[in-house]
């Protein structure tokens, strides 16, 4: 009970969900995630080793974390990813990961051994040419093949779609149609500002705009609002009679900050208490010095602001002088 209180911030939010980025590398170059010119990768010596990842994760589990998600970059490009996944699977938490799906065929048995049952997979277009354009790579066929493989092996899929006006907003209906006969969840994500991704509000497709398009297509009475789970980032819906569901993560227009229970660990061992926060706490340096990291964790969580790292109104959120001080998405961890 004492640890549970210590993992609580000054706004009464208890933190039980840890997202760990295990690499800054990726085999795609998605435009909203990585600057066009690429990024300067952190030297390997400054990144967490597998042992350090497990040690830090165990500390958080001891403090009340019951869910861990692995992110990147693309987590599966890391050479010891299978070892990390298997070891985290023994910590007694709900374990999952976010992936672009290109390498999952090599990890089916690893996922099963670690107890992973659900995967979040990023896919921003169902059209091959657009997929290749946004990822700056040509892996569409492999992606499709691997989605069938995951489905055949009984994994539940959540497809993450970053919606951008004038690029893939006309595919919203196509994505929802994937839920007609398959128990999958489509997660539409509002385009968010990060360093180097050329964010502009006129590229944003809002939660309201997405619902308007779906209400026009299916009739409002057939677009059901589902009950959200506690701490859910997404506003959940389904089309009546469809097997699967869809949701919208509205971090820009309808942030879910009041119920946030998430904290993030970057690949270089920095703790971020909010995706949009400029501030970070270096856990890795203290760990390597043989110091306890618990006081740093508690201090970091206590400093968490009430909304979006302090960008608590629309003007601040659109101010590039504020959001450009944050890392690019690939260096935070998706």
Average the pLDDT over 35-62 and give the result. Answer: 90
pLDDT in the model for residue 192:
67
pLDDT value at 287 more than 50: yes
- Lowest average pLDDT, out of 32-41, 209-218, 237-246, 274-283, goes to 32-41
Model confidence at 231: pLDDT above 90: no
Radius of gyration of the chain (CA): 19
CA distance 309 to 326: 10
Examine the pLDDT at 279 and tell me if it is beyond 50: yes
Q: Looking at residues 181-204, what average pLDDT do you find?
A: 76
Q: What are phi and psi of 71, to 5 degrees?
A: -135, -175
What is residue 202's predicted lDDT score, i.e. its pLDDT? 72
Q: Are strands 270-272 and 262-265 parallel, antiparallel or unpaired?
A: antiparallel
- Rounded distance between C-alpha atoms, residue 214 and residue 179, angstroms: 13
pLDDT band at 1 (very low <50, low <70, confident <90, very high): very low
Mark 83-93 as b/e (b = at least 16 C-beta within 10 Å).
ebbbbbbebeb
Eight-state DSSP code of residue 291: -
Query: Rounded to an integer, what distance in angstroms lies between the CA atom of residue 129 and that of residue 171?
Result: 13
Ramachandran class of 196: left when φ > 0, alpha when ψ lies in -120 to 50, beta otherwise: left
Between the alpha carbon of residue 202 and those of residues 161, 192, 241, 250, the distances in Å are 18, 12, 34, 15
Can you name the residues that pair with 119 across neighbouring β-strands? 97, 157
**pTM score, two decimals?**
0.89
* Gap between the Cα atoms of 285 and 268, Å rounded: 9
Task: Using CB atoms within 10 Å of the CB of residue 51, give its burial: 0 to 12 exposed, 13 to 18 middle, 19+ buried.
Answer: exposed
Is residue 124 within 8 A of residue 162, CB to CB? The reply is: yes
Alpha-carbon span 166 to 202, nearest angstrom: 10
Q: Which of 325, 26, 29, 31 is nearest to 203 (CA)?
A: 31
Using pLDDT thresholds of 50, 70 and 90, give the confidence band for residue 311: low
Query: DSSP alpha helices (H): ranges in 160-293?
Result: 172-177, 207-218, 283-288
Higher pLDDT, 148 or 5: 148
- Indicate whether 269 pLDDT > 90: yes
229 within 8 A of 158, measured Cβ to Cβ:
no
Asked whether the predicted pLDDT for residue 138 surpasses 70, the reply is: yes
**Predicted pLDDT at 40:** 76
């Amino acid at each position: 009970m004492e640890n549970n209180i210590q993992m609580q911030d000054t706004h009464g939010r208890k933190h039980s969900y840890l997202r760990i980025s295990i690499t800054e590398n990726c085999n795609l170059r998605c435009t909203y995630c990585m600057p066009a010119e690429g990024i300067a990768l952190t030297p390997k010596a400054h990144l967490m080793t597998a042992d350090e990842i497990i040690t830090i994760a165990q500390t958080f589990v001891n403090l009340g974390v019951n869910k861990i998600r692995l992110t990147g970059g693309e987590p599966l490009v890391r050479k010891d990813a299978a070892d990390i996944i298997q070891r985290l699977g023994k910590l007694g938490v709900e374990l999952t990961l976010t992936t672009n799906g290109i390498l999952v065929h090599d990890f089916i048995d690893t996922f099963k051994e670690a107890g992973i049952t659900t995967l979040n997979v990023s896919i921003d277009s169902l059209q091959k040419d657009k997929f290749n354009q946004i990822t700056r790579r040509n892996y569409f066929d492999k992606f499709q093949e691997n989605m069938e493989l995951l489905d055949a092996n009984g994994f539940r899929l959540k497809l993450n779609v970053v919606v951008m006006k004038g690029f893939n907003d006309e595919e919203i209906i196509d994505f929802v149609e994937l839920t007609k006969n398959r128990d999958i969840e489509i997660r539409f994500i509002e385009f968010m500002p990060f360093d180097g991704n050329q964010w502009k509000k006129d590229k944003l497709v809002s939660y309201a705009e997405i619902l308007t398009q779906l209400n026009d297509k299916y009739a409002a009475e057939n677009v059901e609002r589902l009950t959200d789970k506690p701490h859910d980032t997404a506003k959940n819906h389904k089309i009546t009679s469809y097997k699967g569901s869809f949701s919208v993560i509205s971090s820009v227009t309808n942030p879910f900050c009041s119920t946030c229970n998430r904290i993030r660990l970057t690949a270089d061992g920095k703790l971020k208490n909010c995706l949009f926060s400029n501030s970070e706490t270096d856990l890795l340096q203290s760990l390597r010095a043989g110091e306890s990291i618990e006081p740093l964790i508690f201090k970091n969580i206590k400093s968490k602001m009430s909304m979006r790292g302090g960008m608590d109104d629309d003007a601040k959120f659109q101010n590039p002088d504020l959001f450009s001080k944050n890392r690019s998405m690939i260096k935070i961890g998706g």
